[in-house]
């Protein structure tokens, strides 16, 4: 599904992500774990073409999409649900969703909208309300739904539980599980360990911009790789070139 | 009194057409587009030149509107686009463009004013004590039609939705695959069309000259700040309020201070609402 090889992102002299290689499979939720500032979000933005890549190769379903800009990546099936939701507060919920399918024909947009309303019933009931009036959890659901409007094969999700109540986190988790069950791959950046344990089959641990461990979530927790990363004990393997 | 209010409405409609073009561009691109006055000037000259060459007024007017659209898009493609990430540079670029456009008109047609004749120059409507000159009625009709068309475009079409999204959160729109540069161009295209409409509505009551739009640009900027930067509805409200305020001040205090009443109103509004009547990011281009 998604293969990222040797992704490096630098801002001037500062390298934020160095040589990241990872995979995400269809129908699964794959986690990217690490402490604040480890490079998780930058990795997602680098994959999605929102920050300049110094090097790296992005392959989606066997198609090399490295040179694609964000618009072409979205059309190829790669959707990003950014940190803090980033809904358009003055647009209605329905308009927010429709922006997610920008560039598609009217018939396709309506068809996808129906799919979203079937999946999230309350969104249909409140579709004419400005998105800015929703609670954090509801905004996150709409943000995820908006990403789904591009009919993606892979959704990149950045901290969906950030700022949400435990109940809202559970609802978001349920929505993500449904999306994966439907065959879409999800690459999840998340600090909420409980959510990661509930959702992710495999995960990549990142520290100081480099991958330090990879495996099933159970293995990573058992080996202490996750706690090391969060507590700042993770070190980059000596053969990584750093 | 009713004549004064009607005159204020005429003035407000003119301010609205100019100010909506300015606020739309500001909302989408955050550029103070001083060059908009130059666009109006060239559109007015194009209308005058087409009429002078023998074209019927309707055709000359269409030529003027088309000229406004083309010149406006050119300012975006050739200049503003390159400084979009440099907010400190864009006002200087805007002033430079205004000078270039005004001097283009000056070199092409000289500094002397030229009158733009319309088929409705001599038409007068009378409703009780109120006299409505044909050119001013045409101004109101053009303003209402063009602003209604803009409202439909922004609220009912995919293009308008994308433009509002870009105005509210450019980066989020880009993440969803919305082509941002195309929205910039579209905003300037619409502003140029409105500039062309303003030119053919405004020029017959004054004269076509390279500096004909300076005063109206200043008033339109007052309107944009009054209404809230980037807010289309705020600009329309602000324009009508300013038009009536200037008309009342001019009639009952002194016409020499007509523009001063606008600035007085601006100060009073900003004391109460420092961001203008309708300014929040959520109301950008809405």
Q: pLDDT, tens digit, for every residue of B151-171?
A: 999 999 999 999 999 999 999
Rounded CA separation B40/B31 (Å) = 17
Token output for B239 = 């324009």
Residue B175 to residue A48, Cβ atoms within 8 A = yes
Structural domain contains residue A114:
no
What is A148-213 written as a DSSP string?
HTT--SEEEEE-TTTT--HHHHHHHHHHHHHHHHTT-EEEEE---HHHHHHH-SEEEEEETTEEEE
Pairwise pLDDT comparison (B22 vs B230), residue with the higher score = B22
**Three-class HEC string of B43-71:** HHHHHHHHHHCCCCHHHHHHHHHHHHHHH
Burial tier of B178 (Cβ tally within 10 Å: 0-12, 13-18, 19+): buried
Domain total of chain A: 1
> How confident is the model at residue B146, as a pLDDT?
95
> How confident is the model at residue B256, as a pLDDT?
83
Structural domain contains residue A36:
yes
Domain range annotation of chain B:
13-212
For chain A, list residues whose CB is within 8 angstroms of any CB belonging to chain B.
48, 50, 70-71, 73-75, 80, 82, 86-91, 95-96, 98-100, 102-103, 106, 109, 130, 132, 146-147, 150
> How confident is the model at residue A232, as a pLDDT?
64
Q: Across the strands, what pairs with A92?
A: A130
Domain that holds residue A24: 2-85+153-240
Q: Averaged over B237-256, what is the pLDDT?
A: 89
Q: Averaged over B195-220, what is the pLDDT?
A: 92
The shortest C-alpha distance from B229 to chain A (Å) reads 15
Q: pLDDT, tens digit, for every residue of A165-184?
A: 999 999 999 999 999 999 99
pLDDT by residue for chain A (242 residues), tens only, comes to 899 999 999 999 999 999 999 999 999 999 999 988 899 999 999 999 999 999 999 999 999 999 899 999 999 999 999 999 999 999 999 999 999 999 999 999 999 999 999 999 999 999 999 999 999 999 999 999 999 999 999 999 999 999 899 999 999 999 999 999 999 999 999 988 889 999 999 999 999 999 999 999 999 988 887 777 776 666 555 544 43
Q: pLDDT, tens digit, for every residue of B16-36?
A: 999 999 999 999 999 999 999
Pairwise pLDDT comparison (B258 vs A169), residue with the higher score = A169
CATH of the domain at A22: 3.40.50.300
Q: pLDDT, tens digit, for every residue of B3-20?
A: 889 989 999 999 999 999
Structural domain contains residue A119:
no
A156, containing H or E segment: strand A154-158
Mutate to test the interface with B, among A90, A92, A109, A145 (most CBs of B within 10 A): A90
Rounded CA separation A192/A171 (Å) = 14
Comparing alpha-carbon positions, the chain B residue that sits nearest to A156 is B175
The shortest C-alpha distance from B177 to chain A (Å) reads 4
Rounded CA separation B56/B59 (Å) = 5
Q: Averaged over B249-266, what is the pLDDT?
A: 85
Residue B281 to residue A103, Cβ atoms within 8 A = no
> How confident is the model at residue B122, as a pLDDT?
85
Q: pLDDT, tens digit, for every residue of B91-111?
A: 999 999 999 999 999 999 998
> How confident is the model at residue B21, as a pLDDT?
95
Residue B173 to residue A48, Cβ atoms within 8 A = no
Q: State the pTM of this model.
A: 0.88
Q: Sort out which chain A residues have CB atoms less than 8 A from B286's CB and list them.
A: 90
Residue B165 to residue A130, Cβ atoms within 8 A = no
Residue B177 to residue A70, Cβ atoms within 8 A = yes
| Residue B282 pLDDT level (bands cut at 50, 70, 90) | low
Structural domain contains residue A22:
yes
The shortest C-alpha distance from A220 to chain B (Å) reads 31
Residue B119 pLDDT greater than 80, yes or no: yes
Rounded CA separation B130/B120 (Å) = 18
What is A31-87 written as a DSSP string?
EEE--TTSSHHHHHHHHTTSS-EEEEEEEETTEE-TT--HHHHHHHTEEEE-TT---
Comparing alpha-carbon positions, the chain B residue that sits nearest to A90 is B282
Q: Find where tokens 């609802």 sit.
A: A171
Comparing alpha-carbon positions, the chain A residue that sits nearest to B166 is A88
- Respond yes or no on whether ipTM tops 0.85: yes
Q: Which of A91, A109, A147 sits opposite B168 (nearest CB)?
A: A91
């Amino acid at each position: 599904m998604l293969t990222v090889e040797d992704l490096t992102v630098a801002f001037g002299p500062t390298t934020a992500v160095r040589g990241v290689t990872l995979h995400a499979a269809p129908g699964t939720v794959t986690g990217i774990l690490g402490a604040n500032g480890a490079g998780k979000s930058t990795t997602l933005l680098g994959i999605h073409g929102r920050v300049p890549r110094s090097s790296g190769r992005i392959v989606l379903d066997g198609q090399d999409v490295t040179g694609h800009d964000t618009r072409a990546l979205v059309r190829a099936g790669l959707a990003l649900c950014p940190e803090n939701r980033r809904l358009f507060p003055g647009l209605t919920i329905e308009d927010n969703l429709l922006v997610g399918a920008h560039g598609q024909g009217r018939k396709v947009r309506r068809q996808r909208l129906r799919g979203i309303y079937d999946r999230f019933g309350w969104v249909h009931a409140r579709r004419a309300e400005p998105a800015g009036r929703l609670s954090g959890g509801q905004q996150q659901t709409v943000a995820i739904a908006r990403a789904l409007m591009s009919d993606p094969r892979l959704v990149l999700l950045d901290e969906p539980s950030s700022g949400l109540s435990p109940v809202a986190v559970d609802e978001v988790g349920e929505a993500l599980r449904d999306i994966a069950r439907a065959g879409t791959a999800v690459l999840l950046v998340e600090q909420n360990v409980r959510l990661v344990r509930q959702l992710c089959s495999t995960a990549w641990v990142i520290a100081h911009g480099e991958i330090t461990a990879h495996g099933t979530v159970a293995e990573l927790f058992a080996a202490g790789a996750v706690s090391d990363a969060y507590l700042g004990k993770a070190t980059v393997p000596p053969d990584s070139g750093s | 009194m009713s004549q004064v209010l009607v005159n204020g409405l005429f003035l407000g409609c003119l301010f609205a057409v100019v100010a909506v073009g300015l606020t739309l561009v500001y909302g989408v691109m955050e550029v103070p587009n001083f060059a908009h006055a130059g666009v109006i000037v060239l559109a007015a000259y194009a209308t005058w030149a087409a009429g002078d060459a023998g074209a019927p007024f309707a055709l000359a007017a269409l030529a003027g509107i088309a000229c406004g659209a083309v010149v406006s898009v050119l300012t975006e493609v050739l200049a503003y686009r390159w400084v979009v990430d440099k907010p400190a540079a864009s006002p200087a670029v805007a002033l430079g463009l205004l000078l270039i456009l005004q001097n283009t008109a000056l070199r092409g047609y000289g500094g002397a004013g030229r009158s733009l004749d319309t088929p409705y120059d001599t038409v007068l409507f009378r409703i009780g004590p109120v006299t409505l000159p044909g050119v001013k009625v045409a101004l109101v009709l053009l303003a209402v039609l063009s602003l209604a068309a803009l409202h439909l475009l922004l609220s009912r079409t995919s293009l308008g939705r994308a433009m509002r999204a870009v105005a509210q959160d450019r980066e989020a729109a880009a993440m969803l695959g919305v082509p941002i540069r195309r929205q910039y161009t579209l905003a300037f295209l619409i502003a140029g069309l409105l500039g062309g409409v303003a030119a053919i509505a405004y020029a017959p009551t004054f004269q076509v000259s390279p500096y004909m739009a300076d005063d109206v640009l200043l008033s339109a900027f007052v309107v944009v700040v009054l209404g809230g930067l980037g807010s289309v509805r705020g600009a329309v409200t602000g324009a009508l309020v300013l038009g009536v305020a200037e008309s009342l001040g001019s009639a009952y205090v002194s016409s020499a201070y007509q523009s001063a009443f606008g600035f007085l109103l601006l100060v009073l509004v900003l004391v109460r609402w420092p961001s203008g009547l309708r300014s929040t990011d959520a109301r950008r281009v809405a």
